Amino acid sequence: MKKKGISKMLVSLCLVLVLALALPLMSGCGPSPSGKVYRIGEAVIIEHPDLIADQEGFHKAMAEEGFIEGENVEYIFLCAEGDMSTAKTIADRFVSEKVDLIHAITTPLAQTCVQAAIDTEIPVVFSTCTDPIGAGLVSTWDAPRPDNVTGVSDMADIKIQMEMIREICPDFKVLGVIYNAGEANSVQQINELKELLSDVGIEKLVEANCPTTAEVVTAAKSLVGRCDVVWIPTDNTAVSGLPSILGVCEENKIPFFGSTGSMVEEGAIAGRGASYPWIGWQAGKYAASILKGESASDIPVVKCSGEAQVLVVNPGAAERMGITIPQSVIDKAAQVVQ
């Protein structure tokens, strides 16, 4: 009986030792070894629906990869409220607190964070940045690169957007645009537009600059009587003042077009552009890969294309601005705002 008791005790001790050795190995199988909580510095230049959708998509992808907020990841979310000095303060804070990764949403915020993270080991994943090379975020779209930076561009096809407007307003000749000339992403889009004016049958481009949100309404009013339709690119300043633009266009029966679905949901006639939930989701996948050990420099920067670009139309908005959207365009839309 004593020998059997000793044998059982030895077996029990062996099982305890096996479990003690196995538990550390098991804890290292997931994305958060040794109970580590990853700290992500996340920021936007200003809050509006597209950027919120970007952020939500990022969190969704991270969760799919095993990085769960409140369990093994903490997000430090800050908004610069459109102020570049505040953006710099945010970027400097992320660096001083030595976060594990920075998710920078929009070009101005990404530029500031990338600059702050130089000479550190903190990787930066940007999203909703139109021209990352022109903005100085990365040296090339391809990988590998010398930069510890990668991300997702919301660069949409400007020509397709103009062709969409032509389908709805076939006789328009003068296009009015509202944008902040201080935003590199907007300047890139306007320059691209200027190069293809003749290709899409536009005789004249009338530009209205809005350096701040408070100046958006003035910019919109300056276009009254000077253009046939109004369009805005993915410009953070113009989007933040979208209600002012809509008010001017509805009052003066000027057809207004956006470049994203959320602009249409807020009252633009139509828009064909990036899917911001997809952009954030892809950026989140990149971030998860980096936290699992892949170098940001080895991940190519991606553009939104194909399924990531959608057409949204708003027949009610068209009626308020004095036109009707052809049924042929409505039939092609991924979403019809009621």
Q: What is the CATH number of the domain that holds 52?
A: 3.40.50.2300
Q: Are residues 163 and 199 both part of a single domain?
A: yes
Predicted confidence at residue 232, as pLDDT, reads: 96
Phi-psi region of 114 (alpha: psi -120 to 50; beta: other; left: phi over 0): alpha
Number of folded domains that form the chain:
2
Beta carbons within 8 Å of 199's beta carbon, 6+ residues apart: 159
If asked whether residues 183 and 129 sit together in one domain, one would say no
pLDDT (0 to 100) of residue 271? 94
What does the alpha-carbon distance between residue 58 and residue 56 come to, in Å, rounded to a whole number? 5
Residue 5 located in a structural domain: no
Contact 151, 185 (CB under 8 A): no
User: What pLDDT does 228 receive?
Assistant: 98
* Shared domain check, 196 and 300: no
- Closest by CA to 50, choosing from 208, 205, 273, is 273
Q: 3-class DSSP state for residue 303?
A: strand
Domain match, 215 and 125 both: no
What is the CA 152 to chain-centroid distance, rounded?
A: 7
What is the mean pLDDT for each group of 10 consecutive residues in the chain (338 residues)?
Answer: 42 37 37 77 91 96 97 96 94 98 95 95 94 91 92 87 95 97 90 94 97 96 98 92 97 96 94 89 97 96 78 97 97 92
Do 228 and 241 lie in a common domain? yes
User: 133 and 47: one domain?
Assistant: yes
Domain that holds residue 43: 37-154+276-306
Q: What CA–CA distance (Å, rounded) separates 103 from 321?
A: 38
* In-domain check, residue 168: yes
- Shared domain for 75 and 220, answered yes or no, is no
**Statement to judge: residues 213 and 289 lie in one domain:** no
The span from the CA of 188 to the CA of 280, in Å, is: 21
Number of H helices and E strands in the chain, helices first, is 13, 13
Tell me whether residue 302 is exposed, middle or buried, using C-beta atoms within 10 angstroms of its C-beta: 0 to 12, 13 to 18, 19 or more. Answer: middle
Contact between 80 and 46 (Cβ < 8 Å): yes
In a domain, 20, yes or no: no
Closest CA to 264 of 275, 252, 253, 277: 275
Pair 330, 205 in one domain: yes
Q: Does pTM top 0.75 for this prediction?
A: no
The per-residue pLDDT for 4 is 43
Tokens of 307: 């399924």
Same domain, 100 and 231: no
Q: Given this model, what pLDDT does residue 154 score?
A: 86
What per-residue confidence (pLDDT) applies to 268? 98
Which of these, 107, 79, 130, lies nearest to 233 by C-alpha position?
A: 130
Task: Tell how strand 73-79 and strand 335-336 pair up.
Answer: unpaired
Say if 12 falls within a structural domain.
no
Examine residue 162 and state whether it is found in any structural domain, yes or no: yes
Secondary structure class of 75 (helix, strand, coil): strand
Residue 7 lies in a domain: no
As given in the structure block, the two tokens for residue 18 are 């096996």
| Structural domain contains residue 19 | no
Q: CB burial class (10 A; 0-12, 13-18, 19+) of residue 29? A: exposed
SS3 104: strand
Q: Which two tokens stand for residue 21?
A: 């050795």
Contact 161, 309 (CB under 8 A): no
Amino acid 68: pLDDT: 96
| 122 in a structural domain | yes
Give the pLDDT confidence score for residue 49 in this predicted structure. Answer: 85
Indicate whether 269 and 172 sit together in one domain.
yes
Instruction: Say whether both 110 and 216 belong to one domain.
Output: no
Distance (Å, whole) CA 96 – CA 105: 19
